[in-house]
């Protein structure tokens, strides 16, 4: 028998944000192992690649001039400037994946997330928090990818970002990675079950007949004959 509830084919658009060093990428990488029908959008940036980052895999690396040209051509779903560099979400590919029923994850800064919220209110917004600010600073230092000056700027920026939590749908503290991943996955499963994502509820012929018989029984039922003493 087919499921009585038919959900919409459209995939979920999921925005994941949080301060640098809170473990967003680690959570996303683990999610991909358990959520097969999920695609992570690749953002564009004008910053230089870090370490082993590759164009078209980690980011689409553009020059500042190329990025600004794409802004003029309205190529981005959203874009923001952060620490002197541009970051943006290209429109192409996202709609295609959503229409195919795939969930799409956007790992973006808060400025960009709030712009998407203005345009697409069905988006699922999840904020990832570090267990403490002390732990966040330790993680930023241990990454060994930024100068002390940049680490200090990122740390100060984290306080500003945390103030934006009320604008998100969910907040998850990333203390232990496996627990944080489980919580995010549970959020996405629950979102799939929301009533406004149902396309149709229907009964097959056999179920309709059972329903009709039950109605007959109810109409003929006389509770005055029941002795409760």
Quote the tokens at residue 200: 């149709």
- 164 and 194 fall within a common domain: yes
What's 102's DSSP letter? Answer: -
- Comparing C-alpha atoms, which of 137, 129, 138, 139 is closest to residue 175? 129
98 found inside a domain: no
Q: What is the pLDDT of residue 31?
A: 97
- 48 and 114 fall within a common domain: no
153 found inside a domain: yes
Q: What is the spatial distance between Cα 106 and Cα 35, in angstroms, rounded to a whole number?
A: 15
- 179 and 152 fall within a common domain: yes
- 163 and 67 fall within a common domain: no
Quote the tokens at residue 225: 């004959």
Higher pLDDT pick, 216 / 24: 24
Whether this prediction's pTM lies above 0.85 is answered by no
> pLDDT by residue (tens digit) across 154-176?
778 888 888 899 999 999 999 99
In which domain, by residue range, is 121 found?
1-41+103-229
Quote the tokens at residue 209: 């007949």
Residue 163: strand, helix, or coil:
coil
130 found inside a domain: yes
Quote the tokens at residue 36: 């097969």
pLDDT at 62 over 70: yes
- Pairing state between β 103-107 and 85-90: unpaired
- 60 and 121 fall within a common domain: no
97 found inside a domain: no
150 found inside a domain: yes
Residue 52: CATH number of its domain: 3.30.63.10
- Which of 27-31, 63-67, 178-182, 221-225 bottoms out in mean pLDDT, i.e. has the lowest? 221-225
> pLDDT by residue (tens digit) across 79-110?
888 888 998 899 888 988 999 999 999 998 88
- 153 and 219 fall within a common domain: yes
> pLDDT by residue (tens digit) across 105-154?
999 888 888 889 888 878 999 999 998 888 888 888 777 777 777 877 87
Residue 140: CATH number of its domain: 3.40.50.300
Confidence of residue 215 (pLDDT cuts 50, 70, 90): low
Question: Between 24-34 and 177-192, two packed helices, what is the crossing angle to 10 degrees?
Answer: 60
Number of domains, the chain: 2
Q: What is the spatial distance between Cα 52 and Cα 59, in angstroms, rounded to a whole number?
A: 12
Q: What is the pLDDT of residue 1?
A: 42
Percent of the chain past pLDDT 70, that is, above it, reads 85
> CA neighbours within 13 Å on the CB side: how many for 36?
0
138 found inside a domain: yes
pLDDT at 224 over 90: no
15 found inside a domain: yes
DSSP bridge partners of 87: 45, 80
- 83 and 126 fall within a common domain: no
Confidence of residue 212 (pLDDT cuts 50, 70, 90): low
The vertex-46 CA angle with 167 and 161, nearest 5°, equals 20
- Pairing state between β 44-45 and 85-90: antiparallel
Q: Which of 92, 111, 128 is the last residue of a domain?
A: 92
The vertex-146 CA angle with 125 and 44, nearest 5°, equals 45
Q: What is the pLDDT of residue 213?
A: 65
189 found inside a domain: yes
């Amino acid at each position: 028998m087919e499921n009585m509830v038919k959900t919409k084919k459209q995939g979920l658009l999921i925005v994941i944000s949080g301060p640098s060093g809170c473990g967003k990428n680690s959570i996303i990488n683990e999610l991909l192992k358990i959520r097969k029908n999920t695609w992570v959008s690749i953002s564009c940036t004008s910053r230089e690649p870090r370490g082993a980052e590759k164009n078209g895999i980690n980011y689409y690396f553009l020059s500042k001039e190329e990025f600004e040209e794409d802004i003029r051509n309205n190529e981005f779903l959203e874009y923001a400037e952060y620490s002197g560099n541009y970051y943006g979400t290209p429109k192409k590919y996202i709609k295609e994946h959503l229409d195919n029923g795939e969930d799409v994850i956007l790992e973006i800064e808060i400025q960009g997330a709030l712009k998407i919220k203005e345009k697409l209110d069905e988006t699922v917004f999840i904020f990832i928090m570090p267990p403490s600010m002390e732990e966040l600073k330790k993680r930023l230092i241990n990454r060994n990818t930024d100068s002390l000056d940049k680490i200090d700027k990122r740390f100060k920026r984290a306080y500003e970002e945390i103030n934006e939590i009320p604008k998100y749908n969910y907040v998850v503290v990333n203390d232990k990675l496996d627990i944080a991943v489980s919580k995010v996955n549970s959020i996405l499963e629950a979102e799939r079950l929301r009533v406004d994502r149902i396309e149709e509820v229907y009964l097959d012929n056999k179920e309709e007949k059972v329903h009709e018989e039950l109605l007959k029984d109810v109409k003929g039922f006389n509770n005055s004959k029941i002795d409760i003493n």
